[in-house]
């Protein structure tokens, strides 16, 4: 489905397996066995456990696909083992062999024939190990992967509180074979190629291609590095060859510079045009290694108080956030699930995505915020790992034109001094690795002078007015106060919204809902988004906004809103089967696709005889009929797509509501049915509208 609407290849996980003829890149995802640990420390018992029954699995795989999603605080965190027996032939003699893992939750040890070939800490970045010296050629080899998703104070995230870190090899594995001299595979599992761009305009752009090369032999080699830029259609634009002597002492970097004349710019969703950069390593005139990377020529600029600019033009930042897990699958997704999610994000009309608390990247014309999982709590032991994960994120995702900012932390506070200092060091690291992109950190308190703020280029703030604090309408004085007092601040509203359990429906709504109560009506979520988006749209001081969340997701430590282990703030349900009313609110406001939608279609058991009817329409003023009779007295709501009929009187029994609009000569129709029997009063406790806690953990 998504392939029909997207011209470009989805680049998953911050790096892409290269389209290359000179190196072999083979899927390594079948033939695995799995066994859940931990094993006893007693040698006899451990041996029996190891030799017992193993489960046949295919990668991606997680052992938490169900237990993290059905009951609060009742999931397995710990060790799991994977093993695979693979024959490696003698044709690999003289070659270099690597295993590249796109993601393992969360700490990993990899053994080949009993030899440790590498370890990795962090569940959301790729890693690659060279395994050739541990292989037995012409024989069967055993590969063991030990994965452990136990929360640790020295590995971010340090707990499972806001989302679960699923255990297992939950992203694909690749077997990579190269010659002795290659474009490096093990530089933080990056492509080994780094593309930067300066002085971008429609007249020209300065492009620099840095390639890291590695000599695995014991002698220098006379080689040629060729870097070429091709159009999307495959025409070579420019090329440069660099003769070099590659020594075996460490990784060497080589740089080519180009000036593109009249470049075809990457213009977001409107025109996500991609060149490609092909880096080839040649020996004696033959290509011995090759890596292809995307090049989207573009320039980002953020102007405080005014907005986001793409290639010198103001660009709307309609933002959603995404957690990747699916009901029944956990995080072990195939491209089919990723494609589906991206299709929904495109359909709703989003222009920017915050891949929340872990890294994901694509090139769909979306503007991307990529983030490390430094979230919720600090321990004082995570500094080194946070820096390592940030370095991996940047190097693996460096060439994606869609990424405009590196996210450094989300809602981490005490001790303030430690957190502020660590944020500063992360900012410095990001600017050293990538001087041309922005950095951002996120605070949940909502005031600019909080002790951990102002340590990054952009200040993000999470605000849940009406849900965790105050009233829905308090978003307006909040933003206007910041606008007045901190006009220089580059501010983004990085989370907002409310939970919605589709089994909870009511017409009785106040201006705040106590999140601590078990009643989470969809209608309150709809009300929150209707009003708060209207305020955001009127305030360019909010450079970008990111609603929380595109999809419901698992929170294994929670039991709220009548559904254990679930965050219900999504615009779509966890199983992706139902789009909530709020989904269509944003689609009507953001998308260019025609939308005609009657709200409260699940609130069928009506409580009031005299009620209101709301329609979202971006195709003009609709006509609405109740039981065949046209309603009158239509008025505009918060935005131009918001239409409301007040004082609508229902008949006893079934009531059919029909909305009709004509756009470009085509008639659009939407129909729902309500049932009214008698005036009802809901349980007072269920509708008690008290303010929630100010400092509740994020949505």
Give the up-direction half-sphere exposure of residue 575: CA atoms within 13 A in the CB hemisphere: 5
Q: Quick one: DSSP state of residue 687?
A: G
- Structure tokens given for 319: 């933002």
Active-site position among 179, 411, 522, 530: 411
3-class secondary structure per residue, 50-109: HHCCCEEECCCCCCCCCHHHHCCCCCCCCEEEEEEEEEECHHHCCCEEEEEECCCECEEE
Q: Tell me whether residue 411 is one of the annotated catalytic residues.
A: yes
Q: Collect all residues with Cβ–Cβ distance below 8 Å to 534 and sequence separation of at least 6.
A: 638, 639, 642
How far apart, in whole angstroms, are the C-alpha atoms of residue 155 and residue 148? 12
Contact 397, 435 (CB under 8 A): no
How far apart, in whole angstroms, are the C-alpha atoms of residue 294 and residue 584? 33
Distances (CA, A) of 455 to 211, 270, 420, 433, 435: 31, 33, 7, 17, 15
Q: Among residues 174, 173, 193, 175, which one has the least CA distance to residue 183? A: 193
Buried b / exposed e along 660-681 (16+ C-beta atoms within 10 A): bbeeeeeebebebebebeeeee
Q: Collect all residues with Cβ–Cβ distance below 8 Å to 544 and sequence separation of at least 6.
A: 308, 317, 319, 352, 492, 493
For 697, the enclosing helix (H) or strand (E) is none
Q: What is the largest CA-CA distance in the chain?
A: 90
- Structure tokens given for 512: 């705040």
Q: Beta-strand (E) ranges in 160-274?
A: 173-178, 181-183, 193-198, 204-215, 221-230, 236-246, 252-261, 266-267, 271-272
How far apart, in whole angstroms, are the C-alpha atoms of residue 385 and residue 422? 11
For tokens 């053994």, the residue is: 111
Active-site positions read: 411
């Amino acid at each position: 489905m998504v392939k029909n609407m997207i011209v470009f290849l989805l680049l998953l996980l911050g790096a892409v397996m290269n389209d290359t003829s000179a190196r072999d890149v083979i899927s390594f995802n079948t033939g695995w066995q799995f066994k859940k640990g931990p094993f006893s420390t007693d040698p006899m018992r451990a041996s029996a456990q190891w030799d017992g029954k193993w489960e046949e699995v295919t990668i991606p795989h997680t052992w938490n696909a169900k237990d993290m999603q059905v009951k609060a605080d009742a999931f397995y965190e710990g060790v799991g083992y994977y093993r695979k027996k693979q024959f490696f032939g003698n044709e690999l003699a003289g070659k270099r062999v690597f295993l590249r893992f796109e993601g393992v939750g969360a700490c990993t040890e990899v053994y080949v024939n009993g030899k440790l070939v590498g370890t990795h800490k962090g569940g959301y970045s790729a890693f690659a190990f060279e395994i050739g010296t541990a292989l037995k050629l012409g024989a069967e080899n055993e590969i063991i992967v030990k994965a452990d998703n136990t929360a640790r104070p020295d590995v971010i995230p340090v707990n499972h509180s806001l989302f679960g870190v699923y255990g297992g090899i939950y992203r694909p594995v690749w077997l990579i074979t190269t010659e002795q001299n290659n474009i490096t595979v093990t530089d933080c599992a990056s492509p080994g190629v780094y593309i930067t761009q300066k002085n971008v305009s429609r007249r020209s752009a300065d492009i620099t291609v840095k390639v890291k090369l590695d000599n695995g032999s014991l002698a220098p080699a006379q080689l040629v590095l060729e870097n070429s830029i091709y159009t999307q259609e495959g025409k070579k634009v420019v090329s440069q060859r660099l003769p070099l002597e590659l020594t075996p002492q460490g990784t060497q970097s080589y740089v080519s510079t180009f000036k593109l004349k009249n470049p075809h710019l990457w213009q977001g969703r409107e025109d996500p045009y991609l060149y490609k950069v092909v880096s080839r390593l040649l020996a004696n005139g033959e290509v011995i290694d090759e890596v292809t990377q995307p090049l989207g020529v573009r320039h980002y600029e953020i102007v405080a108080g005014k907005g986001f600019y793409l290639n010198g033009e103001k660009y709307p930042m309609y933002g959603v956030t995404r957690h990747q897990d699916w009901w029944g699958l956990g995080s072990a997704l195939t491209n089919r699930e990723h494609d589906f999610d991206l299709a929904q994000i495109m359909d709703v009309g989003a222009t920017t995505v915050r891949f929340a608390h872990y890294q994901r990247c694509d090139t769909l014309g979306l503007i991307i915020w990529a983030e490390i999982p430094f979230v919720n709590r600090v321990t004082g032991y995570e500094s080194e790992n946070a820096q390592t994960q940030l370095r991996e994120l940047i190097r693996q995702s460096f060439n994606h034109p869609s990424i405009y900012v590196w996210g450094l932390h989300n809602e981490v506070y005490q001790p303030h001094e430690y957190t502020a200092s660590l944020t500063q060091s992360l900012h410095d690291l990001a600017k050293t690795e990538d001087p041309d992109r922005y950095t951002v950190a996120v605070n949940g308190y909502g005031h600019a002078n909080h002790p951990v703020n102002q340590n990054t280029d952009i200040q993000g703030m999470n605000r849940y007015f009406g849900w965790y604090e105050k009233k829905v309408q308090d978003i307006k004085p909040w933003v206007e106060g910041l606008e007045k007092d901190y006009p220089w601040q580059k501010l983004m509203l990085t989370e907002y919204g409310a939970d919605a359990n589709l089994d909870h429906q009511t017409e009785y709504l106040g201006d705040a809902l106590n999140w601590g109560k078990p009643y989470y009506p969809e209608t309150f979520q709809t009300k929150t988004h209707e009003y708060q988006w209207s305020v955001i749209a009127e305030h360019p001081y909010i450079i970008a906004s990111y609603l929380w969340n595109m999809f419901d997701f698992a929170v294994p430590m929670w039991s709220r809103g009548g559904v254990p282990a679930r965050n219900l703030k999504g615009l779509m349900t966890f199983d992706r089967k139902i789009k909530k009313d709020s989904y269509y609110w944003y689609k009507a406001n953001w998308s260019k696709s025609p939308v005609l939608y009657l709200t409260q279609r699940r609130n069928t058991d009506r409580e009031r005889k005299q009620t209101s009817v709301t329609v979202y329409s971006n195709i003009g003023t609709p006509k609405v009929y109740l039981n065949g009779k046209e309603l009158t007295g239509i008025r505009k709501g918060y935005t131009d797509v918001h239409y409301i009929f007040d004082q609508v009187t229902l008949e006893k029994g079934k009531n059919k509501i029909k909305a009709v609009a004509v756009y470009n000569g085509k008639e659009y129709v939407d129909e729902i049915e309500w049932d009214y029997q008698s005036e009802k009063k809901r349980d007072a406790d269920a509708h008690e509208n008290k303010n929630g806690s100010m400092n509740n953990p994020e949505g």
